[in-house]
Amino acid sequence: TKKVILDIDTGIDDALAILYLLKHPNVEVKGLTTGFGNVDVDQATLNTLQIAELAGASQVPVYAGAAKPLLREWTGPVVHVHGENGIGNVSLPLPKEKAREERASDFIVRAANEEPGEISLIFVGRLTNLAEALAKDPALPQKVKEVVIMGGAVTVPGNVTPVSEANIAGDPEAASFVFEAGFPLTMVGLDVTMQTQMTAEDVEWMVSQKDDTNEALIDAIAEMLRFRIAAYKKMHGINGSPLHDPLAVAVALHPDIVKTEPMNVVIETKGELSSGATIADLRGRDTVIPNANVCVDVDADRFMGGFLQIITGKKRE
Ligand code: BDR
Ligand code: CA
Longest CA pairwise span in the chain (Å): 59
Q: What is the length of the chain?
A: 317
Would you state the pLDDT for residue 127?
98
Q: Show Cβ contacts of residue 170 under 8 Å, excluding neighbours closer than 6 positions.
A: 37, 69, 74, 75, 125, 126, 160, 276
Helices and strands in the chain: count of H runs, count of E runs: 13, 12
Would you state the pLDDT for residue 25?
96
Give the distance (Å) from ligand 1 centre to CA of residue 247.
11
Decide if pLDDT at 286 tops 90.
Answer: no
Q: In what order do the strands lie in the sheet with 185-188?
A: 62-64, 27-34, 2-8, 119-123, 146-150, 185-188, 292-298, 258-263
Decide if pLDDT at 223 tops 90.
Answer: yes
Q: Show Cβ contacts of residue 290 under 8 Å, excluding neighbours closer than 6 positions.
A: 262, 263, 264
Give the distance (Å) from ligand 1 centre to CA of residue 286.
33
Our mutation pick for probing the ligand 1 site, out of 21, 51, 124, counting the most ligand atoms within 8 A of Cβ, is 124
Would you state the pLDDT for residue 317?
82
Report which secondary-structure segment, H or E, holds 309: helix 300-312
**Active-site annotation holds for 236:** no
Q: How many whole angstroms separate alpha carbon 3 and alpha carbon 31?
A: 10
Among 162, 176, 146, 165, smallest CA distance to 260 is for: 146
CA atoms within 13 A on the CB side of 305: 10
Q: What angle do CA 236, 10, 115 make, to 5 degrees?
A: 130
**Overall pTM surpassing 0.95 (yes/no):** yes
Ligand nearest to the Cα of 81, by number: 1
Do the strands 27-34 and 2-8 form a parallel or antiparallel pair, or are they unpaired? parallel
Decide if pLDDT at 30 tops 90.
Answer: yes
Split at pLDDT 50, 70, 90, the class of 53 is: very high
Residues 163-222: tens digit of each pLDDT:
999 999 999 999 999 999 999 999 999 999 999 999 999 999 999 999 998 999 999 999
